[in-house]
A and B are shown apart, each in its own frame.
Chain A
Amino acid sequence: MPFEFKQCISLIESTGKKAKTLRELRDLIAIISVESINHHTYQYYLRRRILEYNNDFAHWAGESLEERTLSEYFSNIDPFLFKDVNDLRRALLKVIDNYLEQFPEPREAMVGDEFYFNEAIILLFPAGLRANNLAEFLIAIKYVDPPSLYYHFYEARVRLGSGIDDFSKWVEDALERKELAAKIRNIDPLMHTLEGIREHLSEIVEEEVRKDMEVMPQ
């Protein structure tokens, strides 16, 4: 079965809600829509990514409140460990509650630097690429647009509900290459940008293709 590459884009919708203090952020995280939590955590990887941060809350704590410790706590949350978004919401609230218990109250964000809660509408469409075998898959991985990598490598973990990405699943199910699938699953999604993911995937797959092509001299 060939691998059909898909791609997604997000259209950002404002909820009209914003927080200027950590307490306001906490109160809004407690009631904001699931779509907004999704947008500020999972979909962070679809947008620009600074490796220091793993979600918009960590980004805001680090850049706008300048609370590095709080930012570290937020960044340490792995969203893919949660089966339910509301469990992720509770984890975010716990980080804030613990922080407010242990540290002095952070200052207010400057005007214009408040946390703006948004949601996203996702449009999904074919990326116009199909891979029939591992060599074609390698070429596609090298050239496909970054949002396609997001869809198959990050979004799949939530969509499939098993924490597994589309690439390793196809390699295992369609190509019956368990070892290669395991190698792909070893790439830590939290520690790379989309371009970094592309680089690691290409390296691993290229090594496998090369092995397939090698001919032992008679």
Chain B
Amino acid sequence: MINEYYGVAPKGDLILLQKLGEKMKNRSFLHVNATRSGGGVAEILQRMIPILIELGIDAKWEVIKGDARFFDITKKIHNALQGNSETITREMWDYHFEVNRKNAEACQLDADAVLIHDPQPSPLVEFRKKGKWIWRCHIDLSNPVKGVWNYLGRYCEKYDAAIFSVGKFAQAMAIDQFIIPPAIDPISEKNRELRGDEINETVVKFHIPTDRPILLQVSRFDRFKDPIGVIRAYQIVKKYNDCILILAGSPASDDPEGQIVLSETREAAGGDPDIYILLLPPFSDKDINALQRIATVILQKSLKEGFGLTVSESMWKSKPVIGGAVGGIPLQITHGVTGFLVHSVEGTAFRVRQLLNNPELAKKMGDHSKAYIRTNFLITRQIRDYLSLWYHMENKGRSILEL
């Protein structure tokens, strides 16, 4: 499997992976999260575990089990950590712990390194047997509800180290904290190269005209993704440049607010035949890939964002991206070099016009974007960083490690 990344990922990362694999040969590396499928963490683990095994590491993946009450509590914890007002009662915390206690009995937790993903399984650290324990936080912890973080933090402080996606998510804790951004998989269905006929299939399926520039935003219909702001920006641009707008996202049938935002978005579009609101079912990865490849300019005009990996996905396809200057987006877009960071509808429209009127600039930014993602945001880099961290923890006290 690792051979598939040769010629795609940087050679140095692949060399380092082999070297670290030799150092950690036959040693056990356990990942624990809360879901086997769905969501970015499971998506990455599905690819990462076979690669680790191929490198000679005894990699394992355990998924904790819980009932609806447990996941309702952990959803509330998740929201509170992202800054939403939620109350987690003592009883709820006790249930959170109790479910983890039962999982600790059922799971094999004795490994040389244990990486626990997100808050759901974080109490497992109370049942650690051996090895280095690392807590990997994938969510935006920049402004958590204090009481909730203080409670969860008691578990986190029992780990040997914590990993956050962005520097500003790190917390005041007595353990070592590392910054490892998430990554995309360049050979997955969502990001692999597509043939012309595969792209055309999507174009025909959604009746998309390709005779004019295409603006695209791929995201849930969520206020924080600002789909209405995108329509307003498109309407400004349209006065100067003929173009079409595609807003592609999931229908979010289980999210009542998603339905409201979708209705508001449709209303804002006002029957404009050049605005395409596409409701994509789950597992539409190939269609998303094709849409990103036919777009002229890609937007991610978020008002709040965890990391926003759709930005990296678009940049990987050599597209200039205009993104809201929030969350992890500024880590991906270097303003003026690989795209533009914006703060308003007007700013978004201005930058879109700039790119539509300067195809050479758009191409140059797209080329820089692909190179930047190749170096910084591919799965091989993420695996390399996890193994480097494990290796560093076993060789503590040295700031330069030679392999």
A125 to B392 alpha-carbon distance, docked (Å): 14
Residues of B contacting A7 in the complex (Cβ-Cβ under 8 angstroms): 12, 15-16
A112 to B173 alpha-carbon distance, docked (Å): 18
A16 touching B16, Cβ below 8 Å:
no
Residues of B contacting A145 in the complex (Cβ-Cβ under 8 angstroms): 10-12, 375
B384 touching A9, Cβ below 8 Å:
yes
Given A50-B334, A116-B168, are A122 and B12 also a contact pair (CB < 8 Å)?
no
Q: How large is the interface on B (under 10, 10 to 19, 20 to 34, 35 or more residues)?
A: 35 or more
Q: Which of A121, A128, A195 contacts B392 (CB 8 A)?
A: A121
Most central of B11, B180, B392 by chain A CB within 10 Å: B11
B392 touching A124, Cβ below 8 Å:
no
In the assembled complex, B178 has its CB within 8 A of some CB on chain A: yes
Contact with A along B161-198 (1 / 0, CB 8 A): 00010011011110011111000000000000000000
Contact with A along B302-346 (1 / 0, CB 8 A): 000000000000000000000000100000001111000000000
Q: Which of B12, B179, B372, B401 contacts A48 (CB 8 A)?
A: B372
In the assembled complex, A79 has its CB within 8 A of some CB on chain B: no
Residues of A contacting B326 in the complex (Cβ-Cβ under 8 angstroms): 112
A125 touching B177, Cβ below 8 Å:
no
Closest residue of B by beta carbon distance from A124: B402
B247 vs chain A, min Cβ distance (A): 26
In the assembled complex, B252 has its CB within 8 A of some CB on chain A: no
A147 touching B403, Cβ below 8 Å:
no
In the assembled complex, B399 has its CB within 8 A of some CB on chain A: yes
B179 touching A124, Cβ below 8 Å:
no
In the assembled complex, B400 has its CB within 8 A of some CB on chain A: yes
A12 to B335 alpha-carbon distance, docked (Å): 22
In the assembled complex, A69 has its CB within 8 A of some CB on chain B: no
Q: Which of A16, A123, A146, A147 contacts B170 (CB 8 A)?
A: A16
A120 to B384 alpha-carbon distance, docked (Å): 15
A116 to B384 alpha-carbon distance, docked (Å): 24
- Shortest Cβ-Cβ A-B pairs, 10 listed: A14-B170, A116-B167, A145-B12, A12-B179, A14-B177, A125-B403, A124-B402, A7-B12, A122-B400, A11-B388
Supply 19 A–B pairs (Cβ within 8 Å), ascending by A: A11-B180, A11-B385, A12-B167, A12-B179, A13-B179, A14-B167, A16-B171, A16-B172, A16-B173, A48-B376, A112-B168, A121-B388, A121-B398, A121-B401, A122-B400, A123-B16, A125-B16, A127-B11, A128-B11
